[in-house]
Structure 1
């Protein structure tokens, strides 16, 4: 038994190992590995560039401090000139951008004017002068483009003039300072040139550091996304395994369909048929019992004496024991069934039809304690009714 159990466990493990791997897992794992490599590479490169930045910064600080010790006075005196030179260079860059925008607006305006001229020439060359919707639409677009280009040219021209004026003023101020501080400027020139050189290197290193930081953030985002996808896939697989282990959900107890319901339905139908047959048999038996009771009543009434003395000789008996003169069983009254027919044959009771006094049950209209009020005789033929009629 233990060997069989071990074999079954080994087989189940083999089946689980042989389950097909979800292809999504492979893709997400590849993304995870790739993002991990990117993160490691970006972090290493970022660390290298940061070290270079720190090294260049330290080197620049040391060399500039050495020069500052040698020519510190000239550097302080020539600072206004170098600051004005920096402002002039910035104004020059802005003026160049404004010049480019102005040239672009001029080119757009020229192309739009050429399009308008071509459309007008095409319309004027036709002798028939038929209206062409396509050329008309092109002419409208060209006109609108010309108006927009003129507006853009006007704005760019104003900006170009403004930046050019600023640049000219900055250049003028710089030249004035250069003439005024010519000796200090020439003496401090190595310091500021070295400073500009290191500044350019630090700017380049900072640019590389920013790029690597952006790449690192993107790689980490991809790594988190791959982990979330793998987690969702794992949850789906575990849910499927749980459903397979539990099996298919069956119907509830109240929703079960019993096969015996059909037999019960058939049995009910058969019982209805049997009940109908039993009702018919009961009707036939009741008719036969009525006939027998009629014959018995007739025979009992003929054999019993009908003297008034017999009825008066036992008044206390008939009055004190009404239950002895009536039937112990109560059945539904029928016009064709007499009160004497309801009594069993084995009981020796005095027939109420034998008395002809006013207190008798058959001869009076009083209410019987067991049978209720006596109904009037109908046209049916019965011994009691015949006796009352005097037949």
Structure 2
């Protein structure tokens, strides 16, 4: 394959990339436009519903706000408790495994009748004992972290019960408002996340388009330079031919 053929293949490839990038840009921009429109509609609905509350209801919403603010934190705190518990269990397992390794080394030493066996094993056993100490320290940290997370959850549950006793009626009446607010907020957050993803997709394809354009410009410049070189070489050859 000649250099000209290689250039032709490269041009076709870059043109194909341009077409794909253009199609991708159009497709994702259309999706982005639709999601943006949906987000604006949800935002308008949110503002309308959240501001069109009767004055009597606003008083109940205000009284119950501390309860629902705490309630919104509960899932995250429970997740932290679960993560801390899993970490603690993993660290306990690490301690048990490290201790088992020490016991295996001791058993191997006791069963070894060679005179220099103790000298061979002592360094390895000391290293393993250090690993046991490190594992125990990490386990203790994980245990303290788990205990702290559990205390935080218990304090939250206690506060929720107290608020429920003090403002139970207001909390019951305001619940539909907060549930609706949470649902709309989740929807808007999902739309914002989707818009961010689509914007990233659009930008990626725009970058691909720009890369292909630059590649085509480089090929064009290369072809131009080659033709210029050939043009400058041709007269010189004719002149040599005439002089001879």
Work out whether 1:185 is the aligned partner of 2:171.
yes
Work out whether 1:170 is the aligned partner of 2:161.
no
Within 1, Cα distance between the matches of 2:131 and 2:226?
64
Deviates more, 1:105-114 or 1:131-140: 131-140
Work out whether 1:109 is the aligned partner of 2:109.
no
User: Given that residues 84 and 170 in structure 1 are in contact (C-alpha distance below 8 angstroms), is that contact kept between their aligned partners in structure 2?
Assistant: yes
Pick one of 192, 210, 214 that aligns with 1:224: 210
Quote the offset at 1:130 in angstroms. Answer: 6.2
Pick one of 118, 137, 153 that aligns with 2:104: 118
User: Given that residues 68 and 75 in structure 1 are in contact (C-alpha distance below 8 angstroms), is that contact kept between their aligned partners in structure 2?
Assistant: no
Q: Which has the higher contact order (CA 8 A, sep 6+)?
A: 2
User: Given that residues 99 and 160 in structure 1 are in contact (C-alpha distance below 8 angstroms), is that contact kept between their aligned partners in structure 2?
Assistant: yes
Q: Which residue of 2 aligns with 1:213?
A: 199
Work out whether 1:158 is the aligned partner of 2:131.
no
Q: Which residue of 1 aligns with 2:86?
A: 100
Deviates more, 1:211-220 or 1:113-122: 113-122
Q: Which residue of 2 aligns with 1:146?
A: 132
Pick one of 20, 34, 54 that aligns with 2:5: 20
> Taking structure 1 as the reference length, what is the TM-score of the superposition?
0.52
Within 1, Cα distance between the matches of 2:121 and 2:190?
53
Quote the offset at 1:210 in angstroms. Answer: 1.7
Structure 1, unmatched stretches of 5+, are: 1-18, 251-391
Within 2, Cα distance between the matches of 1:230 and 1:133?
71
RMSD: 3.1
CA distance 1:82–1:144, change in 2 (3 Å): same
1:53-94, CA deviations, whole angstroms, 9 ceiling, x for partnerless residues? 222222333344455567222112211221222344443333
Aligned length: 232
Deviates more, 1:144-153 or 1:125-134: 125-134
Structure 2, unmatched stretches of 5+, are: 237-244
Within 1, Cα distance between the matches of 2:155 and 2:175?
23
Quote the offset at 1:245 in angstroms. Answer: 1.2
Within 2, Cα distance between the matches of 1:116 and 1:248?
85
CA distance 1:68–1:200, change in 2 (3 Å): farther
